[in-house]
Chain A
Amino acid sequence: MGAGAVGRSVAKLAGEYGHTVTALADSSGAVVDADGIDVAAVLARKRGSGTVGDAEVATALDAPYDALVEATPTTLSDAQPGFGHVEAALERDRHVVLANKGPVAERYDEVRALAADSRGEVLFEAAVAGAIPTLSTIDSLGPERVRAVRGVLNGTANFVLSRMAAEGLDYEHVLAEAQDLGVAEADPSFDVEGTDAALKCVILANVLYDGGYTLADAEVEGIRSIPGSALELAAEDGRTVRLIGEVSDGSVRVGPRLVPENGTLAVTGTTNIVQLETEHAGQLNISGAGAGGPETASAVLADVGRLPPVD
């Protein structure tokens, strides 16, 4: 479900990973074929006419499949339509792989309850820091042995802050540049106000502390209030400012923070980094692409590969 950058990339790469795409839906239409849709033709059609097919969106939910990939845009509070798609798949005892953050950030406990009553499983590696294997790393370590997670979880905000620091430019100027480059969206508020990073942190908190968190539990501050002069003062002192998400001691916090200029967390450009404080394994740092179609699709397909066969 979903034919944005991530959904399209998943469809394109699925064959290479040994999977068959039996249905693809966007917000206005769907295409279904139990023997596998012609992905190239469907995506060409999407480029031409704006939709993947004439069928009702709901027919994709009724299509034969083992795993539903939910890659519609992230929405807040009721997390629809993503949540409804998750529900539909689990009720049919099918697996769900999420790239959409909404359902596992805003309605995690409900998703867990649905999964408990289903033979299907829910995985969502792609929802946290794109290509970076965050959740599978936490899973290998054991969530109870991870003391804290912090990191740079939004490429747009990081691009803006690192450009401001490197070029001595102001927020508005760098934002306009980011929009020209396609790094920032026309409405960048989700990224620069910290909401996107906060949703990822909320998902991490749900995983570490076994549920109970929504966006309302996060303390969130964005980067709009940081002038170039603040970054200059930080640089004079060998420091810089990054939008850091932090999950520790049961709390979730996102905001601009001072970090050493050459420190591990001061990644530049659109790079993301996840830092885990662990019980026995010390500190682990994983950096890489936190967004992007093929990058995020690789996390989706890794999840698909982890799922057990359905009967």
Chain B
Amino acid sequence: MSESDVRSYTVRLELQDEPGELLRALEPIADNGGNLLSIFHERGNVTPRGHIPVEVDMEATPERFEGIVEALRDAGVNVIRAGSEQYSEELVVLLVGHLVDTDLSDTLSRIEDCGNASIDDVALSAPDGTDELSSARVRMDTHAGAVEETLATVRAVADRKGLHVVEPLAEGGDA
């Protein structure tokens, strides 16, 4: 690994508004060979889910950068965007059907198994009980350019389990 492999990356995180959260998020970066350049803590700009967005600029080799993103996720830090290339597209789908009977966690891990997406959060709504139709909102991060592939995986997994997928309108759609 030569010096010339070092590139600068921007990582966008969402942190809970609790003491020590920022430090917890920065440690995996330093521990995995990232060189911190700047931290922009948007305290005044709370997300709809009550989190505080933080933008971190750093330098690292591509290999180390991958390790950093992995370590951040392992530490439970919500990585919204990382770099300009990797994990850069957020994807939200709705699943409708007998989600509980068809083992929702198995459904989700099959989606992650495709290797292009990591699931950020899942909200389940089963107003008529778990034996009836239920809905889930699944938020994923996918590699840039892998949105179509990820959607195809979601479609295939849902198809096998008799679930409906409501896909987002494609990129370039509604701004």
B172 close to A277 (CB less than 8 A)? yes
Binding site for A on B (CB under 8 A): 48, 92-94, 96, 123, 125-127, 133-137, 139, 164, 166-170, 172-175
Q: Which A residue sits closest to B132, measured CB to CB?
A: A227
Is A241 positioned at the interface, with any CB of B under 8 Å from its CB?
yes
B166 close to A229 (CB less than 8 A)? no
A-side interface residues, number (CB < 8 Å) = 33
Chain A nearest Cβ from B6, distance in angstroms: 37
- State whether A227 and B135 are in contact (beta carbons under 8 Å apart), knowing that A258-B169, A259-B169 are contacts in the complex: yes
Could you mark each residue 245-288 of chain A with 1 if its beta carbon is under 8 Å from any beta carbon of chain B, else 0?
01010000001111110011110000000010100000100000
- State whether A237 and B166 are in contact (beta carbons under 8 Å apart), knowing that A227-B135, A229-B126 are contacts in the complex: no
B174 close to A260 (CB less than 8 A)? yes
- State whether A233 and B168 are in contact (beta carbons under 8 Å apart), knowing that A227-B96, A263-B174 are contacts in the complex: no
A150 close to B169 (CB less than 8 A)? yes
B174 close to A226 (CB less than 8 A)? no
A230 close to B166 (CB less than 8 A)? yes
Q: Which of A150, A236, A257 contacts B167 (CB 8 A)?
A: A257
B125 close to A258 (CB less than 8 A)? no
B174 / chain A contacts, CB cutoff of 8 Å = 259-260, 263-266, 275
Question: A227 CA to B133 CA in the complex, in Å?
Answer: 8
Is A239 positioned at the interface, with any CB of B under 8 Å from its CB?
yes
Number of A-B contacts (CB under 8 A): 83
Q: Which of A228, A237, A246, A260 contacts B48 (CB 8 A)?
A: A237
Is A234 positioned at the interface, with any CB of B under 8 Å from its CB?
yes
Binding site for B on A (CB under 8 A): 148, 150, 221, 225-230, 232-234, 236-239, 241, 244, 246, 248, 255-260, 263-266, 275, 277, 283
User: Which of B134, B137, B168, B170: most chain A Cβ within 10 A?
Assistant: B137
Question: A221 CA to B94 CA in the complex, in Å?
Answer: 15
A258 close to B173 (CB less than 8 A)? no
Chain B contact residues, majority secondary structure: strand
B137 / chain A contacts, CB cutoff of 8 Å = 233-234, 236-237
- State whether A236 and B123 are in contact (beta carbons under 8 Å apart), knowing that A226-B96, A227-B133 are contacts in the complex: yes
The contact sample of 26 A-B pairs, CB cut-off 8 A, is A221-B164, A225-B164, A226-B96, A226-B164, A227-B133, A227-B134, A227-B135, A229-B135, A230-B94, A233-B94, A233-B135, A234-B137, A234-B166, A236-B48, A236-B123, A236-B137, A237-B48, A237-B137, A237-B139, A238-B48, A241-B94, A257-B166, A258-B94, A259-B168, A259-B169, A275-B174
Chain A nearest Cβ from B65, distance in angstroms: 29
Given contacts A239-B168, A257-B167, 17 further A-B contacts (CB under 8 A): A150-B173, A229-B135, A230-B94, A230-B96, A233-B94, A233-B136, A233-B137, A239-B92, A244-B169, A255-B167, A257-B166, A258-B167, A259-B168, A259-B174, A263-B174, A265-B173, A283-B175
Q: Which B residue sits closest to A232, measured CB to CB?
A: B125
Question: A258 CA to B151 CA in the complex, in Å?
Answer: 13
Q: Which A residue sits closest to B123, measured CB to CB?
A: A233
B164 / chain A contacts, CB cutoff of 8 Å = 221, 225-226
Question: A239 CA to B127 CA in the complex, in Å?
Answer: 20
Chain B nearest Cβ from A279, distance in angstroms: 13
Question: A153 CA to B172 CA in the complex, in Å?
Answer: 19
B133 / chain A contacts, CB cutoff of 8 Å = 227, 229
Q: Which A residue sits closest to B137, measured CB to CB?
A: A233
Question: A229 CA to B132 CA in the complex, in Å?
Answer: 12
B127 / chain A contacts, CB cutoff of 8 Å = 228-229
Question: A129 CA to B123 CA in the complex, in Å?
Answer: 36
Question: A221 CA to B164 CA in the complex, in Å?
Answer: 10
Chain B nearest Cβ from A169, distance in angstroms: 12
Q: Which B residue sits closest to A228, measured CB to CB?
A: B127
Question: A244 CA to B25 CA in the complex, in Å?
Answer: 40
User: Which of A228, A230, A259, A283: most chain B Cβ within 10 A?
Assistant: A230
A256 / chain B contacts, CB cutoff of 8 Å = 166
Chain B nearest Cβ from A263, distance in angstroms: 4
User: Which of A258, A259, A275: most chain B Cβ within 10 A?
Assistant: A258
Q: Which A residue sits closest to B125, measured CB to CB?
A: A229
A221 / chain B contacts, CB cutoff of 8 Å = 164
Question: A264 CA to B175 CA in the complex, in Å?
Answer: 8
